[in-house]
Structure 1
Amino acid sequence: MPHLAVARFWFEGNSFTPTPTTREAFASREWVSGTEAIARYRGTGTELGGLAGFLDANAGWTADVILSLSAQPGGPLTKDIVPGWLETVTGALARGGYDAVYLSLHGGGCAEDDPAPELTILRAVRAATKGVPLGVSFDIHGNLAPEIASLMDCASAYRTHPHIDMAETAGRVLAMLDATVAGRISPVVAIAKVPKVIHSFHMRSEAGPMAELWAEAEEEEVGPILDASPFGGFSWGDTPFAGPSILVTADRDRRAAQAVADRLAASLSAKIAAGRFSVTLPTPEAALETALAAPPGLVAVLDPADNPLSGGIADTPGVLRALLARAPDVPVLFAFLHDAETVEAARAAGLGGALTRPLAARHTVAFGPPVTVAATVERLTEGRFVNEGPMERGAPVDLGPTCVLRVGTVRVIVTSRREAAIDPGFFALHGIDLGATRLIVNKAKNHFRAAFASRLAALVECDSPGPAALDLLGLPFRHVPASWRTP
């Protein structure tokens, strides 16, 4: 009976986010192991959900989840996190008894002392596996070091953006590991890099240049080519390996794998050169005017520069200031601010209580000063819900204590923990009737579309100061050449 070792380290790092990512960010989101990990995520739209599905469908396999960690994207990891995870994982692997190893990695991490932690992880895991087949799943926003091609036997990445195929991606990797252990294939990996850093606004899978590239990659999956996975990279990860890449797994034929990777990289380079990934965004004021002039129904203005899923801090004041200055005479929801102190003040004031205090810029004033408001406490919650999907469907979320403040016609959600407002469950928790709401202003980007694009009469993105702002040329990169960065 084949025995599988499983470990997960899922984190996307924004090198320019002013607050580091600590152990608490993982402990509050996902820090599980053993049978608890499989039971917790069984039936969910996650990699561990995909693992549970694989085990259910392949009764001959058993699995040991050594340690599974996940945190929301954020600032660089503190120095203790990767070494602590590696000590646990490599210690278990070194004891042996496994027929294959599956890693769930993001690929776009960064740490205070390491600009490429996934490379560090793969080197250590490969050394500990002693030739045991190793398969890896990635997010398409991974910044891949070419060296990792020699450190894995097989790999795959998400093929949707928003990412609603996490479980399916795990399934593809596990199927390749199953075939490897059974002796049906002998996989090899090749990588081709594109020396450019591009934004992800046009990486969505419903249409556009990335959707076209995914279709091209699927057509290449014939003969010895087992998997062809395009990566867009993560714009705000300051690593020598930043930018797009193509990862290909083939059965035995490394030359064929490299040829496919090179062809797809050339196609991606041509799309970049043609401006297919270029983007310009309006100011918050202009975006609000456009949204409010849209046909009747729910409309949204997004603030991607402070999107938590791009490493944003959910604390920048620019869009909130513009919204309150505009003072729409329709029901408005602002989602959200990460500010545990304001939540505590709201709980002290109680439901219906009055509260005057500064909002936003509570963690840093680097992106502008706070906005002082006079508000009424409208709702208090403990911050727990389960994702309704489609992204990470069924996964539990813990925001910590939260509140809803009313400032005129604007409701403002404030949370104690920084978890993106991209799931219907987030809004249901706070008693928000979206059918009675005209405008959502959200610190979000592409992933918000998965559950809400079909419900909106209009969606407008804007640019404002923040950790994930549009202008890459103005950021203090140390490892990425300026010629790689798009203006």
Structure 2
Amino acid sequence: MPRRYVIALIKHETNTFSPLATPLASFGHGNGPAFGDAARERFAGTNTPMAAYLDLARREGAEIVTPVAAESWPSNKASRQTFETLVQPVETAVRAGCDAVFLDLHGAMVIEDCDDAEGEIVTRIRCIAPRMPIAATLDYHTNLSRELVENATVITGYKTYPHIDMYEAGHLAGDLLVRALDGQIEPVMAWGWKPLLASIMRHAPEDGPSGDIVAYARQMEANGIVLAATLLPSFPH
């Protein structure tokens, strides 16, 4: 019997200083969020983690469920109502039963009553299915939280800025989760942070010190020291 994979995209790089509102219609860059098959069609074949997840699921012969795909340009906080409109379809899909959840997230999404939207998303899925394997991909400008780390099985992030390796990050996360499902690996998460506020103008991996750290992360992956390593310099706005 084929596995059933839930694949969803919810992304917003929130700038709490922005004068621009973030209504539901802004997700989809003016077209609104996509649900069900429309979510799959909107992102298939794109340079995104979601597209990588879809390709991996087809390769595995899995049943694919795409409850939502929604992303917006940077702007101010979304409302709780907008957030619930995006998250509840994912919860419904997980409650219906699945073998794994693959999430294409940002990592710096803020809503009106929660500073850690991604942490809430993953925690809510974990509450529904305590043993569910969950993969999450994150933007380079992620504000990583304990809730996100403790409730995900696999996390990978972009290593480029401008971001051109989104598909690559999704492929890595998805492949690791499938290998875990197959019993080939047992991922263990390790993370840490420094009390530093790095200028977003010096986040490019071509510059130091970010470049040195990203190069070291790539080296550890290539040498098999870790399954995945990611620098997440944060988004201070």
- Per the normalisation by structure 1, the TM-score is 0.46
Structure 2 letter corresponding to 1:135: A
Matched, 1:212 2:212: yes
Deviations 1:341-373 (A, max 9, x none): xxxxxxxxxxxxxxxxxxxxxxxxxxxxxxxxx
- Show the counterpart of 2:41: 39
Q: Which secondary structure state, in structure 1, belongs to the residue aligned with residue 191 of structure 2?
A: strand
Cα–Cα, structure 1 residues 168 and 115, in superposed 2: closer, same or farther, change >3 Å? same
Task: Look up the match of 1:13.
Answer: 14
Per the TM alignment, residue 86 of structure 1 is displaced from its structure 2 partner at its CA by 2.2
Give the RMSD, CA atoms, in angstroms.
Answer: 1.7
1:51-450 matches, within 5 Å, as 51-56=53-58, 58-96=59-97, 98-221=98-221, 222-223=223-224, 225-236=226-237
Alpha-carbon distance in 2 for matches of 1:122, 1:156: 14
Question: Which amino acid counterpart does residue 56 of structure 2 have in structure 1?
Answer: F
Of Structure 1 and Structure 2, which has the larger fraction of its residues in helix?
2
Pair 1:7–1:198, CA change in 2 (3 A): same
Change in 2 beyond 3 A, CA 1:31/1:55: same
Deviations 1:402-451 (A, max 9, x none): xxxxxxxxxxxxxxxxxxxxxxxxxxxxxxxxxxxxxxxxxxxxxxxxxx
- What SS is found at the alignment partner of 1:72? strand
Is residue 218–residue 229 contact of structure 2 (8 Å, CA) maintained in 1? yes
The one-letter code sitting in structure 2 at the alignment partner of 1:64 is V
> Which one-letter code corresponds to 1:48 in the other structure?
M
Report the residue type matching 1:189 in the other structure: M
Question: Does the CA contact (< 8 Å) of 1:5 and 1:102 recur in 2?
Answer: yes
Contact 2:53 2:102 in 1 (8 A): no
Q: 1:217 to 1:29 in 2, by over 3 A?
A: farther
Contact kept in structure 1, 2:25 and 2:33, CA below 8 Å: no
- Where relative contact order (Cα < 8 A, 6+ residues apart) is larger, the structure is 2
Which structure has the greater CA radius of gyration?
A: 1
Indicate how the Cα distance of structure 1 residues 137 and 29 shifts in structure 2: closer, same or farther if over 3 A, else same: farther
- Structure 1 stretches lacking a partner, 5+ long: 237-487
TM-score, normalised with respect to structure 2:
0.91
Kindly indicate whether the alpha-carbon contact (under 8 Å) linking 2:102 and 2:134 is maintained by their aligned counterparts in 1.
Answer: yes
Q: Is the CA contact 2:8–2:50 (under 8 Å) kept in the aligned structure 1?
A: no
TM-aligned CA deviation for residue 29 of structure 1: 4.6
Unmatched runs of 5 consecutive residues or more in structure 2: none
Partner SS state of residue 40, structure 2: helix
Distance 2:118 2:44 in 1: 26
Contact 1:37 1:68 in 2 (8 A): yes
Total equivalences in the alignment: 234
TM-fit CA distance, 1:71: 0.7
Query: In structure 1, how many angstroms separate the alpha carbons of the residues matched to 2:233 and 2:194?
Result: 9
